[in-house]
Amino acid sequence: MSEVKIKSALISVYYKDNLEPIVKLLAKNNVQIYSTGGTQKFIEDLGVAVTPVEEMTTYPSIFGGRVKTLHPAIFGGILHRRELEEDVKTAEQYNIPSIDLVIVDLYPFEETVASGASEADIIEKIDIGGISLIRAAAKNFKDVLIVSSREQYKDVEQLLSEKNGATDLADRRNFAAKAFDISSNYDTAIFNYFNQTENITSFKQSVRQGNTLRYGENPHQQGTFYGNLSEMLEQLNGKEMSYNNLVDIDAAVLIIEEFEETVFAILKHTNACGVATGATVKEAYQKAFAADNVSAFGGVLITNKKVDLAAAEEMHSLFFEVLIAPDFDQDALELLKGKKNRILLKQNHKLTSTKMFKNLLNGVIEQDRDLKTDSLEDLKPVTKRQPTDSEKRALVFASKIAKHTKSNTIVLAKEGQLLSSGVGQTSRVDALKQAIHKAKAFGFDLKGAVMASDAFFPFPDCVEIACEEGIEAVVQPGGSIKDQDSVDFCDKNNMAMVFTGVRHFKH
């Protein structure tokens, strides 16, 4: 029979929030309650009868609370199969009572790690008894209901109320699945904590929060975002974010982290079509918009400073999908909210992850995030002409953008302003030609501009073309066996070139 009337329950939880209604409901249904330590006291304080597990095990809580429930009397009560005569006789022989409901809330391991606690404190928050109870009860879901987290308290209260203290097989199987979700996530967190130092080559990730998106990259593809997005970004206005919105937002957040000064970036399909610094957000936006006022339509906008009314008024007439900022003046926010579908995001935190991964072939590929930001100190002159101070600043600016642009890429810039870029080309020469064509299309004079490349020049052709356009300084990582050919050309044509020694491919 799939329906089971709950006659006995074991409750052992860390957090007691919202537990009271369940305890009182169980008492109302004359359920025998067993409990441990602090949970036992909590139940007694509610005026509800409870039996200490010590009466079942004949052992007290020992080893500083490390061992309380690890006993055949407890696990036999959970695991014995009610439909097997042999199991029932064994339970009777050893005086093991049946346990129909197990409620467990694990020690807060992840929260303790996040708090910066000592390793000794962290180790003590590795739950042993609780995780064992969860697995045992979930395994025997044919007979036992497992409640494995405080986030399920409301659901189980509703379930028991509606069914007068009984559950059916579908209920128990559903809660068992949730229990293994909890236990696998818990073990993954523990492994990843230890693997920070042990570097075992095993890939384990667990994200329990998932939001179904309208669709994936295209309407015929299903999409889901796994993660706590609201922890990082607070949505202040607009429609539900799509898969493509999230991909572009990720690219925008990454590029903006390269800058300390006031900066504004406009992205389309993860590539920046406009980036500029300015004395104000308004000025930075105007300069970024000027780089490509066509691609900006429907783009993702981001700044690293508070958006004031002057900036909001400047960009309000543009149709864009998303605007991200650390904050908004209230009058600016009200103006921008005038377009109901416009997504406005307040960024509360920077990215903290140091790893990145994606599925590839029949597995997963993982790597360190590219956390290297090129600076003035990284520029190593290799030509007779040294870049001027203004050129150096422009070269660093351009290099930061090239790092976040699809390879092969060439970025053309002047100090504090992206002029154009050639993105995702199979040939670096094609990338440069694309960038030159685009810069001219938007009215930029390239004389005195700088050029950044995400990887080395295998031939001097790019610097030859750049020279013809009046570009006077170049930054690249270096590393080609023919580096000297490009350097020699620069020397003959009074161009400055610097190496960084760091390649920034983005595939």
Could you give the maximum distance between any two Cα atoms of the chain, in Å?
97
Q: Is the separation of the CB atoms in 322 and 345 below 8 Å?
A: yes
> Which residue, chain included where needed, has tokens 């050029």?
451
Three-state DSSP class for residue 231: helix
Phi, psi of 260 (to 5 degrees): -100, -40
Give the per-residue SS3 of 408-460: CCEEEEECCEEEEEECCCCCHHHHHHHHHHHHHHCCCCCCCCEEEECCCCCCC
Angle (CA) 177-179-184 rounded to 5° is 100
Query: What tokens were used for 459?
Result: 């031939």
Q: Which of 139, 372, 433, 440 is catalytic?
A: 139
For residue 362, say if its preceding peptide bond is cis, omega within 30 degrees of 0.
no
Q: Is 479 exposed, middle or buried (0-12, 13-18, 19+ CB in 10 A)?
A: middle
438 a catalytic residue: no
Query: How many CA within 13 A on the CB side of residue 433?
Result: 7
Query: Which amino acid appears at position 318 of this protein?
Result: L
269 a catalytic residue: yes
CA nearest to 74, candidates 8, 147, 148, 156:
8
Q: Which of 7, 142, 163, 269 is catalytic?
A: 269
Three-state DSSP class for residue 235: strand
Catalytic residue set: 139, 269
